[in-house]
Amino acid sequence: MPREKSAFEQLHPCDFYTPDELLEADQMYTVYEIARLLQGLEPTAEIDEETEAILLDWAIPWVMQNAAELVVADPPTEDDPGYYGLRRGTDIERE
């Protein structure tokens, strides 16, 4: 249910990291790791499933918004997530 802005003590700008600020150029990350990084956590930080689900609510739109600056790799197995990384000129073979 919507709330009046006046109901909040303070409002903050909705700023997110850019891919260059968040990701290392030579690394690939799962969306779960990106979710942690967006919150200032280490990519391998242990968090409970409920918190992880909330963090994914931020990470998935971030990946979609920044898709032009990212590359994606297939998961190692069918049960694993895919991997995302910074797009560099030589990362994708042209057909």
- Residue 43 pLDDT > 60: yes
pLDDT band at 15 (very low <50, low <70, confident <90, very high): confident
Q: What is the mean pLDDT of residues 50-65?
A: 94
Rounded to two decimals, the pTM is: 0.82
Split at pLDDT 50, 70, 90, the class of 93 is low
What would the 3-class secondary structure string for 19-87 be? HHHHCCCCCCECHHHHHHHHCCCCCCCCCCHHHHHHHHHHHHHHHHHCHHHEEEECCCCCCCCCEEEEC
For residue 52, is pLDDT > 70?
Answer: yes
> In this predicted structure, what is the pLDDT of residue 21?
95
